[in-house]
Amino acid sequence: MMCFPDFPYPDDFPNFMHNRKLQEYIVLFARKKNLLRYIKFKTLVCSVRKHSNFSTTGQWVITSEEDGKQESAIFDAVMVCSGHHVYPNLPKESFPGLKLFKGKYFHSRDYKEPGTFKGKRVLVIGLGNSGCDIATEISRTAEKVIISSRSGSWVMSRVWDDGYPWDMLFITRFETFLKNTLPTAISDWWYMKQMNSRFKHENYGLMPLNGTLRKEPVFNDELPACILCGTVSIKPNVKEFTETSAIFEDGTMFKAIDCVIFATGYSYAYPFLDESIIKSRKNEVTLFKGIFPPLLEKSTMAVIGLVQSLGAAIPTTDLQARWAVQVIKGTCTLPSVEDMMRDIDEKMGKKLKWFGKSETIQTDYITYMDELANFIGAKPNILWLFLTDPKLALEVFFGPCCPYQFRLVGPGKWPGARDAILTQWDRTLKPMTTRVVGGPRKPSLFFHCLKLLAIPVLFIAILLVLI
């Protein structure tokens, strides 16, 4: 979060930021006489519409409400930063008989703490991060916990090979290069092998129906152990509810249910905007690079945070905002409307192939970050680094794709970025070495890359044998 010394933060700021009922908020920036004006955090945005002279000035008329009073103001630019976890999705119509159910049911957003479920029989619908976290937590006190999943999920551990953090080994430029270069069959096989490296998902009832899709996996270190111990069970989708039970699609039944928790995700919408500004085709977001509405006469609106990737959210939104600011300032221009629409259609085709129809805001982390960084000149030139700074190049290409990489060059360049990249493993390992039994052992990039290179080498060898 960006903080400003003169910003009027509310006295109860920490509690305010955790109030999930306050949903429709956007961050607005306007520059007038070199002064920034802000709408307070507690201001509800009622409408954002084009000014009458928008085609010339690109300005917006913002109508806001505070304490029951509405007021309007003119702003030079708007950044919509409400993200995609806005409106709880509780699909009652998808579960016949739910109206007859006499127990409690609510969305996972309203879950508070596990103590209230002591001795209860609980059904959690949804095998996402929230559903798994809730199920494993209440399983310590509840009598019985069952997770119902429509399509299954990959479940990953935060602790990866040799005990290192998963993202520091998994999200690298080298891995992305192999994934995008290898034939689809080999890439799919390799992906599934990585997902099954900790345990066989088939044995735990977690295997996704289409395991080759790169949908965002679930990160939970406890779920496999809970399933193994019997404190959590996995069932298919609920076919229908009765007054006290749930009947699953496999014909089995969960009886005497006390509570149903719907961990069924969220939807997003922009009720304060005219539909012509941000259009959706079916479930597709029509935004250039997930940020800019392509049909505006002036590029003075940016949507920040409406993407989802297997990578950190804050660096992603940071880079989105950096590019958006350059476009709004006029120091960076967008392609033509035709080129933007063509790019949107092309990217959507790839997303449907990689992530499936239900994940239209999903994107590949490194590929997406490089695209954004390229627009503002912040993308690191790997080849040039290998020629001028091999030590740094090895860490950038084979090591973790950390946010420091996008501070090496371009606007916002940071002199300490190189040192931060080269010492990132020191900072990662230091908190764990509270009992010194030898020097901290960093991962061997060379050995790790040899293991990864064995995949294409094996593929080539098989081809040679077959030929």
Digit-coded pLDDT (tens) for 424-463: 999 999 888 888 887 777 887 656 666 656 656 666 666 6
Q: What is the pLDDT of residues 55-83, one digit of tens each?
A: 999 999 999 988 888 999 999 999 999 88
CA 25/CA 270 separation, integer angstroms: 10
Assigned token pair, 280: 């959706």
- The SS3 assignment for 72 reads strand
pLDDT string in tens for the chain (467-residue length): 333 333 343 444 344 333 433 333 334 433 333 334 444 555 788 999 999 999 999 999 999 988 888 999 999 999 999 888 888 999 999 999 999 999 999 999 999 999 999 999 999 999 999 999 999 999 999 999 999 999 899 999 999 888 899 999 889 999 898 888 888 888 888 888 889 989 999 999 999 988 777 778 899 999 999 999 999 999 999 999 999 999 999 999 999 999 999 999 988 888 888 877 886 555 466 899 999 999 899 999 999 998 888 888 999 999 999 999 999 999 999 999 999 989 988 887 777 666 666 556 788 899 999 999 999 999 999 999 999 999 999 999 999 999 999 999 999 999 999 999 999 999 999 888 888 887 777 887 656 666 656 656 666 666 666 66
* Tokens of residue 117, six digits: 């479920």
Task: List b or e across 223-233, with b for residues whose CB sees 16 or more CB atoms inside 10 angstroms.
Answer: bbebbeeebbb
- With H, G, I as helix, E, B as strand and everything else as coil, classify residue 445: helix
Of 259, 312, 271, the residue nearest 87 (C-alpha): 271
> Is pTM beyond 0.85 here?
no
* Dihedral angle sign, alpha carbons of residues 43, 45, 46, 49: positive
Rg (CA), the chain: 25
What's the DSSP call for residue 215?
P
